[in-house]
C-alpha cells in the first residue's frame, strides 16, 4: 500500500468523503485517477471530467506512485 501522507498533492480529512485520500482542495478521491486510467482514460480526459484537479496534482500523484513502486 502506498504511503500517500508523503505526497503534497493529496490530503485526508476525517469525515470528508469517508476519510479517503483526496486531491488537495477537492472531493475527488485519488483512486478515481487510477480507476479511470485503468479503464482506458487519458490524463487529459480525467482533468476534463474532474475540473477541480490540476495537472500538477495528477503529475505529483503519478510520480509518487512510480517512486513507491520502484522502492518496493
pLDDT reading at 71 higher than 80: no
Confidence at 72, pLDDT banded by 50, 70, 90: low
Q: pLDDT tens, 22-68?
A: 999 999 999 999 999 999 999 999 999 999 999 999 999 999 999 98
Confidence of residue 2 (pLDDT cuts 50, 70, 90): confident
Q: What angle do CA 64, 69, 72 make, to 5 degrees?
A: 125
What's the CATH fold of domain 4-71? Arc Repressor Mutant, subunit A (1.10.10)
First to last CA, the chain: 10
Residue 71: phi and psi, rounded to 5, are -80, -20
| Backbone dihedral region for residue 46 (phi beyond 0: left; psi -120 to 50: alpha; all else: beta) | alpha
Amino acid at each position: 500500500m502506498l504511503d500517500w501522507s508523503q505526497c503534497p498533492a493529496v490530503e485526508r480529512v476525517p469525515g470528508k468523503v469517508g476519510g479517503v485520500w483526496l486531491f488537495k482542495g477537492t472531493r475527488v478521491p485519488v483512486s478515481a485517477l487510477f480507476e479511470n486510467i485503468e479503464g482506458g482514460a487519458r490524463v487529459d480526459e480525467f482533468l476534463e471530467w474532474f475540473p477541480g484537479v490540476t495537472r500538477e496534482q495528477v503529475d505529483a500523484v503519478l510520480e509518487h506512485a512510480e517512486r513507491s513502486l520502484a522502492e518496493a
